[in-house]
Structure 1
Amino acid sequence: MATTTKASPKFNVTPEQQANLPHFFYQQLTCKPKPVTGANLKGKTAIVTGSNTGIGLETARQLLDLGVSNLILAVRNEAKGAAAAANLTKGLRDANKQATSGTSTIEVWNLDLSVYNSILAFCARAEKKLSTLDIAVLNAGIGPAARCFNPHTGHDEVIQVNYLSTALLAILLLPVIQSKRQHQSGPSRMTIVNSEVTGWTNFTEVTGKSQNKPGTPPVSILAALDANDKDGEPVDMVDRMFVSKLLGQFFLSEIAKVVDRSLAIINATSPSWVLETEFNRDRQGSSVLFTIGKFVLSKVVANTAAVGARMVTDAAVNHGEETHGEMLSFQQLVP
């Protein structure tokens, strides 16, 4: 008989409920994320990765609205980053926020999560150039329709970008935060953009037949994810994205154990279902079904990028040490 755990006192749902698809759709349809107001980010520095479009761009915009003094747009394509910076600057002026725009600096820095050297260079630049690092939003990610492998590491590209490189970036930013700590009044905030889909994968690389064949030596999870197929079947790229997010959640739990919350509060959050984004850009026009589904869902279920970004900004600004190592969904702690 299946057992169901009770909700922890700090959560409103059980793990089983959180992983339940109907529960997610109920939340998506009924929860209205609140805009972040009242926070004053004057004098603070923030980094937002994947910030030239979609959720990252809107998160950057919301941080500017809160008065952040120094905003770093970390992007793979600097030309698109420059266009995003111009868009943000114009938005401030159009909203008659000259006082804010006059004290906010927007910079565009190159960051390609497919290349380890790019991550190293980015963190070295942060160490050299920044006086503080108050907020880091690790938002960049991919959800391609077709499978590919990273040309530099040989790893599955979804796992490379969404998990391995994001984890490396988080780890390498910690010494930067440590070295700037004396100039800050409180702990830095690091928010990793994740998803409710962590509870939706079967993770067949661990549970599948290939791991249980008699006489077959066990393989690492990473090796299983890099294999050319799973039990002779093509890789399900939707599930592969789910797995990449689940691994990110494992990473969050572990890094929070070794990073003191007085240095940095590290949490994760989900923007929930947002179709107004380039995360699934490789799926655009991939099928008539996708096009029809996108139209219907965008009208009925999905958030706009601005609404989804409210949940990211909320996680980075509104919450304290109780969220260290924890996940937020619809602005609430969840298991």
Structure 2
Amino acid sequence: MAKSFDVSPEKEGSMLNFFQRQLTQTPEVVQGVNLEGKTAIVTGSNVGVGLECSRRLLDLGLSKLVLAVRSEAKGQTALADLSKGRNLKEGAIVVWHLDHSSYDSVLSFVEKTKTLDRLDIVILNIGIMTTSPKPNPNTGHEETIQVNYLSMALLAILLLPVIKSKLPEQQGPSRITIVSSDASAWAKFKERNEVPLLPSFDRPGKMDMVERTFVSKLLGQFFLVELAKRVPPTVAIINASTPGMVHDSQISRDTAQTFSGKLAEVFRRRIGYTSTVGARMITDAAVKHGEETHGQYLNFQKVKPMAPIIYTAEGERIRDQLWKETMAEFSFAGAEDIIKDIRN
């Protein structure tokens, strides 16, 4: 994980630096890449950043796009939108059901990916922000942790054997890009000393759901580092990126109904990007860079530090603990065996 950055993790992760970037920088349009003949999956692709990443991939010549969405009806609307003005072959865009609230849905989705001829790009974009804690009816885990971290991590792991099986049809490794957030650095992460860690997120009671969203994204960064250590970049280059603050992504549609949420939306509209602009950073991470981004975080289309805790001794301890608990959580899917097989 050793990496030299042009800025310290503390400075990169500060709110002051974040707002300065947001106000003074605009990500560049992704171009100079030809995706003809390639296949991509984009999760959460019926609205916002996921939809706009999908649009840009098609603009770059992508031949096959899987829209992985919870609502197939909304997915069909997105398909119609993305198809406008394009001379696409039949089946160039397909809508497949994927519900991060259900491990069974993740398993079924992965089974379907085995029918693809190849799998070059995966953008893991699904995320939620809620106003109150809600236990997942299928797993008992708090829903934000379930959707934003656990099901995302399971999907990433289960796709690895599929990706490996498709490599003979491809020129070079596949790409997996996790949609992360600068807000990972702002998490207070009061649960950091809990052992075990995952059950600590499931305790009933009042909680700050914005903080919980930040923590869920931080867990994703811990996971990225550990996963990249175990997956050869010759199989898949795995990285993460952020769209920055986006005002039309709909991730805050629930919180926007509260008084504080409405105030935040006014602020977000003033300084936030459109999803079209924010998606440039995710698309860039997925198609423009090489092995140097494996296990790394990109911001404004350059490799930057993740949350400061990632690089500390405490962070190393948490990463190790979280990885072990995550593997135990996914024992029903044989996650540890999958990781071992991928390394061979």
Tell me if TM exceeds 0.5. yes
- The structure 1 residue matched to 2:197, chosen from 207, 218, 221, is 221
Which residue of the partner structure matches residue 307 of structure 1? 277
Structure 1 residues 169-318: aligned runs within 5 Å: 169-206=155-192, 219-229=195-205, 234-287=206-259, 289-299=260-270, 301-318=271-288
Matching of residues 1-335 of structure 1 within 5 Å: 10-90=4-84, 93=85, 97-98=86-87, 101-102=88-89, 105-127=92-114, 129-206=115-192, 219-229=195-205, 234-287=206-259, 289-299=260-270, 301-335=271-305
- Counting matched residue pairs gives 304
Question: 2:257, 2:89 → 1: CA distance?
Answer: 41
Offset, 1:285: 2.0
CA contact (8 A) 1:36 1:313 kept: yes
Q: Given that residues 64 and 104 in structure 1 are in contact (C-alpha distance below 8 angstroms), is that contact kept between their aligned partners in structure 2?
A: no
Moved over 4 A (4+): none
Unpaired runs of 5+ residues, structure 2, are 306-344
- Cα separation, 1, equivalents of 2:198 and 2:47: 30
Give the structure-1-normalised TM-score: 0.88
Give yes or no for contact 2:131–2:254 (8 Å, CA) kept in 1.
yes
TM-score normalised by structure 2 residue count: 0.86
C-alpha deviation, 1:291, in angstroms: 2.2
Q: Deviations over 1:263-312 (max 9, x none)?
A: 1000000001012012112113222x43243124312x100000000000
SS of the aligned residue for 1:33 comes to coil
Q: Is the 8 A contact 2:245 2:268 kept in 1?
A: no
Q: In structure 2, how many angstroms separate the alpha carbons of the residues matched to 1:292 and 1:164?
A: 31
Residue 104 of structure 1: CA displacement? Answer: 7.3
Is 2:36–2:61's contact at 8 Å kept on the other side of the alignment?
A: yes
Q: Is the 8 A contact 1:272 1:303 kept in 2?
A: yes
Taking structure 1 as reference, are residues 280 and 74 closer, same or farther at Cα in structure 2, changes over 3 Å only? same
Q: In structure 2, what is the Cα distance between the partners aligned to 1:241 and 1:86?
A: 31
Equivalent AA in structure 2 for residue 147 of structure 1: P
After superposition, the Cα gap between the structure-2 partners of 1:113 and 1:17, relative to the gap in structure 1 and judged at 3 Å, is same
Query: Partners in 2 of 1:45 and 1:151 — Cα distance?
Result: 33
Q: Any stretches of 5+ residues in structure 1 without a counterpart?
A: 1-7, 212-218
Report which of the two structures shows the higher radius of gyration computed on alpha carbons.
Answer: 1
2:150 and 2:204 map into 1 onto residues whose CA distance is: 19
Give the whole-Å Cα distance in 1 for the aligned partners of 2:33 and 2:109: 28
d(CA) in 2 for partners of 1:105 and 1:188? 19
